Chains A and B, each alone.
Chain A
């Protein structure tokens, strides 16, 4: 069965600190996709990154970086030099290919990140 675990329910940091959000997943499929979404207080779900199971390269985008390790079934997200605007709930999600399209997303329970000024 597919499952995504975000063990950290809440994290609080002070501005400019680095913070890492953990994500561990379970799947039996060999082809799958991992995602991170951000949900700010306004409520929308904002796509941040997608990784497929064949691409273990880490990625950096500005202050954001992602570490994908198949050996530990983890897809962790690091924010460097956090800012107050980073305060949000962050969701990790897993999907498999279903024919010619993505299947459903399996979400973790989310990590509430609060960045204090």
Chain B
């Protein structure tokens, strides 16, 4: 079975450019999470969706960040305009409904470098 799929795996861009990260959750999972990992802050939640609806976006840094989940099999995280401090690894994770081996499974991550 395919796990969580993220693209691109690596992204290098210049400050001010728009960046779009993509995620395909595991089929049948009803929750999707976006996390960011940095040395300074560790692993932190940006936003999560349940049944395609945003539930908690308290971790989204500012208006430059936006996330969408147009359907159950696809989500995007967009940064516009990007800044050097956005450099990090961005992980997408998905989990099934409770009662079905409740666990968050992570994608391989997108390593973002903003110059």
Contact = CB atoms under 8 A, between A and B. Distances in A.
Contacts of B89: 43
Given A44-B109, A91-B43, A107-B42, A100 B103 contact: no
A104 interface: yes
Interface string B6-40: 00000000000000000000000011010100000
A105 interface: yes
B80 interface: no
Dominant secondary structure of chain A at its interface with chain B: strand
Nearest to B104: A105
Contacts of A104: 33, 45, 48, 56
B50 A45 contact: no
Contacts, number: 68
Given A43-B108, A100-B97, A110-B42, A105 B103 contact: no
Given A44-B106, A45-B109, 17 more contacts: A35-B104, A37-B106, A44-B108, A45-B93, A47-B104, A47-B105, A47-B106, A97-B98, A97-B102, A100-B97, A100-B98, A101-B31, A101-B98, A102-B95, A104-B48, A105-B35, A109-B42
